[in-house]
């Protein structure tokens, strides 16, 4: 099979066994890999009403369809499970080298089930799996764990080529905000995945592959890679802005549009507080994920450590939502989050929520004004699950509820809203309200069009047009996630630019409608699972502040957009997919 | 005479050169372990190394080199495939690999695919080489 490897490994932690299973070609063609494949496997095997921390819950990791085929920007693997925080299906984006390495192991997906009796590490080398005890790594921070695992591998050249995804102390101790750390990159979008893995007593997955990935037409593939490279060099975003500043250049654009929120969405920034793209460029270096010609990851290199990922999400959420105006502090915070394995957006939002509660006088345990220096000690407490950190670490939603102020938490379905103000970006507002993983922006980055109008002109405040536009972006992102292509590629490419290389890799042609149909299929499958998990229409909402308190004269008109959106998707008034929609997508049995 | 010039400071570690190299050398196959160029990660600094001649025995030099990235093991920068270091061996056959500049005249795919300028094809005279 060209492009795909056509098999998955099923690892049972209870029995300590593993089994290689084939994946049928039809499933691969219908779901393409990555998020699609992982969601399909997960929703087929797990019931919607399962307790996420139960040993019957599973975790599925799948490499994007185009990962490991030298397609530019194709490096994203997806990790899918039901999150204890949002109570919905969540999909974490694993950047870096993990997805491609999975392909070189001869696998498309890993399914992890059961619960180990004691902490374990999974070693995967070329489709052979061994499960070893991990007591010596339990309780260690992520960098320390990776160092120790690499030191223990006998062949040091093999150690260099092994890639490790592990959880930090936060995941082990059951902090809600915990996520997975993949090499030096934090897995975004998967809040609570660290907790699920911690509950399974799984500390780390070590992966090393030496097998071939075959493509349908190698020489044409190379030509397509060169022409895509030229396209990346033709766009000012991927030629200059992303390599130079990372996606932190969004700070400036958001400021100009008036959508850069400060102090837990209480207002918007009038000017940049010293956290700006030039300062970020000054202290950071450039790094890239596998196969990426852009290289937008900004890293701070210090003598004995490297802090990876000073991106927009980090600097805007800690720098503006929490008001920290020192870039050194923010890089320290990022470092601590990576060490403990904490989700950036949710940690920042929970802390911002705690800060607002402090300013309102509801929180007295710690001095926590916006921009206060105590944030670092609070972060350490969250990571160790101690003191006030134990409360904040339960997630902003539960924390604000426990102090009887649920409206202070800025999130949807328990997942925090990323630092873009939906009152100025209606499309993003609608997307976050309807997103299957709770508020999260990278599974529907409408911002690309709404802020920059790169591929199409979008009117900022037009209710009628938004639902169709949002649906298109959501489907497009879902199919890109399935292929493993990073969303940042959209700054230079249209989706139809990927179609030629798709043909040369997989050996069959697909057109743009079919590709979007795959995305729609994935989106509906996730929605269907969420409905079975007990979600209902009233969960498709935004926090009160964004709907009721106007900003520059605008609120987010969600109530007007939602019915149009449901209709556009082919769902009924309660947000349930209609039978004919499921039939059209070929989902009737599931 | 043309040679590939490496500037490790510009390398972002995307390893696209490895992918392109293997794609060009084995038909329709992508596998960085078959590549004749490899990228080493040294604390977040990336060092591209191009496969050189095969050595049938390991040397006994254990040198550490002081670079601006910190102390680097000489073995990492060494281009030779030797029995001690299994980086430039094909994983399934064990045949040592060597860079062939993708034919004559030199037309290296790794240089063509590199988007950062870390790899560059330059003209050098024979005197400059030694």
Average pLDDT over residues A386-414: 87
Q: Collect contacts of A554-560 with beta carbons under 8 A, ≥24 apart.
A: A554/A423, A554/A424, A554/A461, A555/A423, A556/A422, A556/A423, A556/A426, A556/A429, A556/A430, A557/A426, A557/A463, A558/A429, A558/A430, A558/A433, A560/A463
Q: Is residue A259 part of a domain?
A: yes
A248 and A352 housed in the same domain: yes
In angstroms, the CA B34 to CA B29 distance is 9
Give the residue numbers in B contacting A (CB under 8 Å), as ranges. 12-16, 19-20, 23-24, 26-34, 40-41, 43-45, 70, 85-87, 91-92, 109, 112-113, 115-116
User: A426-434 and A466-483 helices cross at what angle (nearest 10)?
Assistant: 60
Interface test with B, best of A67, A246, A295 (most B CBs within 10 A): A295
Q: Indicate the residue of A70, A160, A285 with minimum beta-carbon distance to B19.
A: A70
- The CA-atom distances, in angstroms, between A363 and each of A353, A369, A384 are 10, 11, 20
Does a cis peptide bond (omega within 30 degrees of 0) precede residue B105?
A: yes
SS (H, E, C) A27-84: HHHHHCCHHHHHHHHHHHHCCCCCCCCCCCCCEEEEECCCCCCCCCCECCEEEEEECC
Q: Indicate the residue of B14, B40, B92 with minimum beta-carbon distance to A288.
A: B14
Residue of A571 and A552 predicted with greater confidence: A571
Q: Residues of A with CB below 8 A from B45's CB?
A: 301
pLDDT digit string (tens) for A118-171?
Answer: 999 999 998 789 999 989 999 899 999 998 998 888 777 778 888 999 999 999
CATH at residue A578: 1.10.599.10
Banded model confidence at residue A512, pLDDT cuts 50, 70, 90: very high
- DSSP secondary structure, A440-506, as one string: -STTS-THHHHHH-SSS---TT-TTTHHHHHHHHHHHHHHHHHHTB-GGGGGT--GGGTHHHHHHHH
Q: What does the pLDDT read at residue A590?
A: 47
B40 to chain A nearest CA, in Å? 8
pLDDT digit string (tens) for A353-394?
Answer: 889 988 888 888 788 888 888 889 989 999 888 888 888 888
Instruction: Calculate ∠ Cα A149-A155-A157, nearest 5°.
Output: 95
- The CA-atom distances, in angstroms, between A333 and each of A264, A319, A368, A387, A407 are 18, 11, 16, 19, 26
A163 and A36 housed in the same domain: yes
Q: What does the pLDDT read at residue A42?
A: 93
Q: What does the pLDDT read at residue A21?
A: 93
CATH at residue A392: 1.10.569.10
In angstroms, the CA A209 to CA A163 distance is 10
A266 and A405 housed in the same domain: yes
The verdict on a CB contact (< 8 Å) between B33 and A210 is yes
B48 to chain A nearest CA, in Å? 14
Average pLDDT over residues A186-194: 88
A375 and A404 housed in the same domain: yes
A408 and A467 housed in the same domain: no
A456 and A485 housed in the same domain: yes
**Domain boundary, last residue among A416, A439, A471:** A416
Q: Is residue A292 part of a domain?
A: yes
Instruction: Tell me if A511 sits within 8 A of A499, measured CB to CB.
Output: yes
Instruction: Tell me if A141 sits within 8 A of A169, measured CB to CB.
Output: yes
- Residues with Cβ within 8 Å of B122's Cβ and at least 6 positions away in sequence, in order, are B2, B3, B4, B5
Helix (H, G, I), strand (E, B) or coil at A182: strand
- The CA-atom distances, in angstroms, between A529 and each of A65, A90, A190, A261 are 23, 11, 16, 32
DSSP state of B55: -
Q: Is residue A268 part of a domain?
A: yes
The verdict on a CB contact (< 8 Å) between A295 and B32 is no
Q: Indicate the residue of B16, B30, B41 with minimum beta-carbon distance to A213.
A: B30
Helix (H, G, I), strand (E, B) or coil at B42: strand
Q: Does A462 touch chain B (CB under 8 A)?
A: no
Which strand (E) or helix (H) includes residue A257?
helix A250-257
Average pLDDT over residues A109-114: 93
A180 and A255 housed in the same domain: no
B80 to chain A nearest CA, in Å? 14
A157 and A251 housed in the same domain: no
Give the dihedral sign, CA A37/A40/A42/A44: negative
In angstroms, the CA A96 to CA B30 distance is 18
In angstroms, the CA A28 to CA A11 distance is 20
In angstroms, the CA A183 to CA A288 distance is 13
For residue B119, the cross-strand partners are B6
Q: How many domains does chain A have?
A: 3
Q: Is residue A98 part of a domain?
A: yes
Domain hosting residue A465, numbered range: 426-491+511-585
A32 and A120 housed in the same domain: yes
CATH at residue A45: 3.60.9.10
Residue B89 CB neighbours (<10 A): 19
Q: Is residue A501 part of a domain?
A: no
Q: Is residue A105 part of a domain?
A: yes
A28 and A131 housed in the same domain: yes
**How high does pLDDT run on average in chain A?**
89
**Domain boundary, last residue among A167, A193, A208:** A208
The verdict on a CB contact (< 8 Å) between B44 and A215 is no
Q: What does the pLDDT read at residue B74?
A: 83
The pLDDT > 70 percentage for chain A reads 100
Banded model confidence at residue B79, pLDDT cuts 50, 70, 90: confident
Q: For residue A106, give the chain B residue with the closest CA.
A: B31
pLDDT at residue A303 is higher than 80: no
Average pLDDT over residues A556-560: 87
Q: What does the pLDDT read at residue A589?
A: 63
Q: Residues of A with CB below 8 A from B27's CB?
A: 218
Q: Is residue A316 part of a domain?
A: yes
A411 and A430 housed in the same domain: no
Q: How many helices (H) and strands (E) does chain A have?
A: 26, 20
pLDDT digit string (tens) for A425-484?
Answer: 888 999 999 999 988 888 888 888 888 888 888 888 888 888 899 999 999 999 999 999
Instruction: Tell me if A524 sits within 8 A of A474, measured CB to CB.
Output: no
pLDDT at residue A577 is higher than 60: yes
Q: What does the pLDDT read at residue B129?
A: 66
Residue A462 CB neighbours (<10 A): 11
Give the dihedral sign, CA A275/A280/A281/A283: positive
CA-closest candidate to residue A442, choices A418, A460, A462, A412: A418
A92 and A110 housed in the same domain: yes
Q: Residues of A with CB below 8 A from B43's CB?
A: 301, 304, 306
Q: Residues of A with CB below 8 A from B58's CB?
A: none
Q: What does the pLDDT read at residue B130?
A: 61
Q: Residues of B with CB below 8 A from A66's CB?
A: none
First to last CA, chain B: 13
CA-closest candidate to residue A4, choices A40, A31, A41: A31
């Amino acid at each position: 099979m060209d492009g795909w490897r056509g098999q998955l490994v099923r690892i049972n932690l209870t029995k300590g066994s593993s089994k290689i299973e084939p994946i049928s070609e039809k499933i691969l063609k219908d779901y393409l890999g990555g998020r699609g494949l992982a969601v399909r496997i997960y929703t087929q095997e797990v019931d919607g009403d399962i307790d996420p921390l139960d040993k019957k819950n599973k975790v599925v990791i799948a490499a994007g369809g185009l990962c490991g085929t030298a397609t530019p920007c194709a490096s994203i693997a997806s990790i899918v499970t039901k999150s204890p925080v949002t109570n919905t299906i969540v999909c974490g984006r694993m950047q870096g080298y993990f997805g491609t390495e999975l392909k070189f192991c001869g696998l498309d997906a890993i399914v992890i089930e059961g619960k180990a009796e004691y902490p374990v590490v999974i070693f995967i080398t070329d489709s052979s799996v061994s499960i070893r005890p991990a007591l010596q790594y339990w309780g260690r921070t992520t960098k320390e764990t990776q160092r120790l695992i690499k030191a223990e591998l006998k062949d040091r050249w093999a150690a260099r080529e092994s890639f490790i995804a592990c959880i930090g102390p936060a995941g082990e101790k059951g902090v809600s905000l915990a996520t997975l750390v993949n090499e030096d990159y934090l897995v975004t979008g998967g809040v609570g995945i660290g907790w699920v893995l911690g509950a399974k007593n799984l500390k780390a997955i070590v992966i090393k592959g030496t097998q071939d990935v075959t493509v349908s037409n190698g020489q044409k593939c190379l030509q397509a890679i060169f022409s895509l490279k030229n396209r990346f060099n033709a766009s000012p975003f991927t030629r200059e802005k992303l390599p130079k500043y990372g996606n932190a250049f969004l700070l400036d654009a958001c400021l100009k549009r008036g959508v850069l929120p400060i102090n837990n969405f209480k207002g918007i920034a009038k000017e940049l507080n010293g956290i700006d793209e030039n300062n970020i460029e000054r202290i950071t270096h450039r790094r890239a994920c596998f196969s990426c010609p852009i290289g937008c990851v900004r890293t701070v290199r210090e003598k004995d450590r490297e802090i990876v990922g000073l991106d927009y999400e980090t600097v805007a959420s800690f720098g503006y939502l929490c008001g920290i105006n020192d870039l050194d502090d923010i890089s320290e915070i990022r470092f601590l989050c990576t060490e403990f394995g904490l989700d950036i957006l949710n940690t920042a939002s929970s802390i911002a929520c705690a800060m607002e509660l402090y300013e309102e006088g509801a929180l007295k345990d710690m001095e926590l004004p916006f921009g206060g220096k105590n944030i670092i000690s609070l972060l350490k407490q969250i990571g160790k699950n101690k003191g006030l950190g134990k409360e904040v670490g339960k997630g902003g939603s539960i924390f604000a509820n426990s102090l009887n102020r649920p409206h202070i938490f800025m999130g949807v379905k328990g997942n925090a809203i990323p630092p873009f103000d939906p009152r100025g970006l209606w499309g993003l507002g609608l997307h976050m309200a309807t997103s299957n993983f709770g508020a999260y922006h990278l599974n529907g980055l409408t911002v690309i069009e709404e802020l920059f109008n790169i591929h199409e002109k979008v009117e900022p405040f037009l209710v009628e047009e938004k639902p169709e536009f949002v649906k298109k972006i959501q489907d497009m992102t879902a199919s890109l996630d399935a292929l493993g292509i990073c969303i940042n590629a959209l700054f230079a490419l249209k989706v139809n630019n990927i179609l030629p290389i798709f043909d040369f890799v997989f050996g069959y042609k697909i057109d743009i409608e079919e590709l979007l149909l795959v995305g729609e299929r994935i989106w509906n499958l996730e929605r269907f699972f969420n409905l079975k998990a007990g979600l209902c229409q009233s969960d498709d909402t935004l926090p009160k502040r964004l709907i009721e308190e106007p900003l520059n004269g605008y609120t987010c008109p969600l109530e007007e957009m939602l019915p149009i959106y449901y209709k556009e998707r082919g769902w009924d008034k309660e947000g349930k997919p209609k039978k004919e929609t499921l039939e059209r997508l070929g989902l009737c049995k599931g | 005479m043309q040679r590939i010039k490496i500037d490790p400071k510009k390398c972002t570690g995307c390893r696209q050169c490895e992918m392109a190299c293997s794609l060009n050398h084995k038909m329709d196959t992508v596998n960085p372990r078959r590549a004749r160029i490899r990228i080493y990660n040294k604390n977040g600094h990336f060092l591209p190394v191009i496969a050189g001649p095969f050595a049938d025995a390991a040397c006994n030099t254990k040198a550490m080199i002081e670079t601006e990235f910190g102390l680097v093991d000489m073995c990492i920068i060494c281009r030779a495939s030797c029995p001690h270091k299994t980086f430039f061996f094909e994983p399934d056959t064990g045949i040592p690999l060597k860079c062939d500049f993708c034919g004559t005249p030199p037309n290296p795919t790794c240089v063509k695919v590199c988007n950062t300028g870390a790899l560059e094809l330059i003209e050098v005279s024979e005197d400059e080489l030694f």
